């Protein structure tokens, strides 16, 4: 829901700004008449029309319980029985999520998947309380730390790390009062945590070079922001779909693209209801699958760039309602993902580049750069052919027969038995090699018949051998975070193994010394900006 300029209700010759609000099942529109506007007012109104107004939900008031500005998520570390029971009872009566872990490593694991607000530590149950408190502040500095114990029992260096101290004999009212005091800092700490996390996420997104990894990162980050589950679908111009759900719960919820993909505006819902579900899915089974997560709040965010629809992000909270800041952070994430995905799949990347010079042939396709060296006496035939969905087929010593290449037109998962069988069927002659190179996933699946297995630069020996049978070696090699992969014949295999120079230096040595043989460098390049 976004503001929009409309004709004033009582005077159509004048303009007004309509601001929509949704609170629970109630919908309201505030109309503010606009006075005489100058050219300088137009940018401000344009910005206002791009802002999304989050919807809200108010819980039914309880007269017997004090109110809090937020509902805290609490985790207890090694809290003893009586106090533990009182904290759990306080949480149960007020609907607060309360979790319990017994050891510090268990707390680390919990923090990797949850975003609690308060940690309660029993100092008498931990051998080195000062060390534990230092570690807690190191891994989660925004947590409010409540210690069960006495000031005499804590080392002096641990005192600055404690926000609230509760004696072991405290009753439930005293415990609640202490947790209430700790909760006053939660809005500030959540906002600071989201701001730092968003800044880091945007930087991480710019370093992602494959659409499927971008979808995985976006789903994981959205789930963290909302405190629950998220699914992302990205669609390229070629029709390739990249899906991810975090965390995964059995079958995929986004088994098909949500009907909400056609919405060009975000949808935020403080408490998920039937109307939100119908906006997101027109498939009843998908609606049911989402509701099995017991979601609280939800956000459906279009991933766009200008007028181009690039995908959709669906995220829900589970333990508590999502804050307005979480909705804004999720929308910021969707915008950053849209820009990066458009950059990775832009049409400029699809234009192949070809260059031949002396003993060298250079071919650039999408994010791949393939540089082939053939000495003057080398007669091995080689080819590189683009395939659907940002893939390419590199063959060496394989006859140029149309039937051979038609087998690779079907898109198969590189790790599948079908892909391996197709590659093996292409290398029927000795001294032959075939590889499917995926520029999006930066991986290579290959088969070699009496031909050297690929070498990852900087690492000795073949990489990722899967199977050796009847003189055919099949396997996989990763291009990401490496200097590249070298495919070479037996003449140059030992030459490369004896060297540890960088890829540019190896190219210079080959050019200068002109050894007999064949070599192909397969590397990733920076995407076009």
pLDDT(442) > 60: yes
| pLDDT at residue number 61 | 38
DSSP label at 95? T
Which one, of 139, 153, 169, lies nearest residue 75 by Cα? 139
Q: What is the mean pLDDT of the chain?
A: 79
Residue entry with tokens 């109307």: 275
Secondary structure (3-state) at 258: coil
- 79 to 123, 138, 187, 459: CA distances (angstroms): 8, 21, 25, 49
Please, are residues 372 and 514 in contact by the beta-carbon 8 Å criterion? no
Q: Which of these ranges, 41-55, 206-220, 325-339, has the smallest mean pLDDT?
A: 41-55
> Judging by DSSP bridges, how do beta strands 267-269 and 144-148 pair with one another?
unpaired
| pLDDT at residue number 82 | 82
Please, are residues 257 and 244 in contact by the beta-carbon 8 Å criterion? no
| pLDDT at residue number 54 | 64
pLDDT(69) > 50: no
| pLDDT at residue number 304 | 87
29 vs 53: CA distance, rounded Å: 11
| pLDDT at residue number 60 | 41
465 vs 217: CA distance, rounded Å: 28
Confidence at 68, pLDDT banded by 50, 70, 90: very low
| pLDDT at residue number 56 | 56
Confidence at 264, pLDDT banded by 50, 70, 90: confident
Read off the pLDDT of each residue in 38-53 and give the average, rounded to a whole number. Answer: 72
Percent of the chain with pLDDT over 70: 86
pLDDT(462) > 50: no
| pLDDT at residue number 217 | 92
Read off the pLDDT of each residue in 402-416 and give the average, rounded to a whole number. Answer: 72
| pLDDT at residue number 164 | 81
Please, are residues 497 and 348 in contact by the beta-carbon 8 Å criterion? no
483 vs 463: CA distance, rounded Å: 14
Q: Which of these ranges, 53-67, 495-509, 513-527, has the smallest mean pLDDT?
A: 53-67
- pLDDT higher at 1 or 359: 359
pLDDT(379) > 90: no
Please, are residues 229 and 315 in contact by the beta-carbon 8 Å criterion? yes
The reply to whether the predicted model has a pTM over 0.75 is no
| pLDDT at residue number 66 | 41
Confidence at 480, pLDDT banded by 50, 70, 90: low
| pLDDT at residue number 403 | 75
469 vs 519: CA distance, rounded Å: 24
Q: At how many degrees (to 10) do helices 211-226 and 186-207 cross?
A: 180
Please, are residues 61 and 108 in contact by the beta-carbon 8 Å criterion? no
pLDDT(315) > 90: yes
Please, are residues 485 and 437 in contact by the beta-carbon 8 Å criterion? no
pLDDT(351) > 60: no
- pLDDT higher at 460 or 496: 496
Token pair of 411, please?
Answer: 């898109």
- pLDDT higher at 464 or 104: 104
| pLDDT at residue number 461 | 46
Summarised one tens digit per residue, pLDDT across range 159-191 is 777 878 888 888 878 888 888 777 777 777 777
**Residues near 389 by beta carbon (within 8 Å), at least 6 away in sequence:** 236, 238, 239, 240, 411, 440
Summarised one tens digit per residue, pLDDT across range 110-160 is 876 667 788 888 877 777 777 788 887 777 767 788 888 777 767 777 777
Read off the pLDDT of each residue in 28-44 and give the average, rounded to a whole number. Answer: 79
Token pair of 241, please?
Answer: 């779909």
pLDDT(349) > 70: no
Q: Which of these ranges, 325-334, 431-440, 453-462, 477-486, has the smallest mean pLDDT?
A: 453-462
Output Rg (C-alpha) for the chain, integer angstroms. 30
**Residues near 131 by beta carbon (within 8 Å), at least 6 away in sequence:** none
CA angle 500, 467, 485 (to 5 degrees): 25
């Amino acid at each position: 829901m976004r503001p929009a300029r409309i004709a004033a209700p009582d005077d159509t010759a004048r303009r007004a700004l309509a601001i929509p609000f949704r609170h629970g099942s109630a919908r309201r529109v505030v109309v503010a008449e606009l006075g005489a506007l100058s050219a300088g007012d137009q940018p401000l109104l344009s910005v206002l029309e791009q802002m999304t107004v989050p919807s809200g939900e108010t819980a039914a008031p309880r007269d017997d319980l004090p109110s809090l500005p937020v509902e805290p998520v609490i985790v207890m570390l090694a809290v003893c029985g009586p106090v533990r029971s009182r904290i759990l009872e306080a949480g149960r009566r007020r609907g607060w999520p309360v979790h319990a872990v017994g050891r510090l490593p268990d707390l680390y694991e919990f923090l990797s998947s949850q975003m609690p607000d308060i940690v309660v530590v029993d100092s008498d149950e931990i051998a080195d309380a000062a060390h534990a408190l230092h570690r807690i502040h190191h891994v989660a500095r925004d947590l409010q730390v409540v210690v069960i114990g006495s000031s005499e029992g804590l080392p002096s260096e641990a005192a600055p790390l404690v926000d609230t101290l509760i004696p072991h004999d405290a009753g439930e009212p005293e415990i609640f009062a202490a947790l209430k005091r700790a909760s006053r800092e939660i809005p500030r700490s959540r906002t600071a945590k989201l701001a730092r996390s968003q800044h880091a996420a945007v930087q991480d997104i710019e370093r992602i070079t494959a659409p499927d990894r971008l979808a995985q990162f976006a789903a994981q980050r959205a789930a963290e922001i909302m405190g629950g589950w998220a699914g992302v679908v990205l669609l390229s111009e070629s029709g390739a779909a990249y899906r991810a759900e975090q965390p995964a719960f059995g079958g995929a919820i986004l088994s098909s693209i949500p009907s909400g993909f056609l919405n060009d505006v975000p949808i935020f819902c403080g408490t998920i209801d039937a109307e939100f579900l119908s906006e997101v899915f027109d498939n009843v089974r998908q609606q049911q699958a989402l509701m099995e997560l017991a979601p609280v709040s939800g956000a459906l965010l279009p991933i766009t760039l200008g007028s181009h629809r690039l995908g959709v992000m669906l995220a829900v909270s589970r333990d508590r309602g999502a804050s307005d800041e979480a909705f804004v952070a999720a929308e910021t994430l969707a915008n950053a993902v849209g820009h990066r995905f458009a950059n990775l799949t832009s049409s400029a990347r699809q234009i192949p580049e070809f260059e031949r010079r002396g003993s060298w042939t250079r071919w650039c396709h999408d994010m791949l750069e393939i540089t082939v060296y053939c000495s003057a006496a080398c007669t091995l035939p080689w080819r590189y052919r683009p395939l659907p969905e940002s893939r390419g087929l590199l063959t060496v010593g394989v006859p140029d027969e149309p039937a051979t290449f038609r087998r690779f037109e079907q898109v198969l998962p590189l790790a599948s038995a079908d892909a391996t069988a197709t590659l093996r069927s292409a290398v029927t002659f000795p001294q032959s090699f075939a590889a499917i190179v995926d520029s999006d996933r930066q991986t290579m699946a290959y088969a070699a018949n009496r031909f050297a297995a690929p070498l990852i630069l900087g690492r000795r020996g073949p990489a990722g051998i899967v199977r050796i049978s009847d003189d055919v070696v099949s396997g996989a090699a990763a291009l990401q975070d490496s200097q590249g992969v070298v495919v070479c014949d037996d003449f140059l295999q030992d030459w490369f193994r004896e060297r540890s120079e960088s890829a540019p230096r190896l190219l210079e040595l080959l050019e200068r010394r002109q050894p007999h043989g064949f070599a192909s460098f397969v590397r990733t390049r920076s995407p076009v900006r």
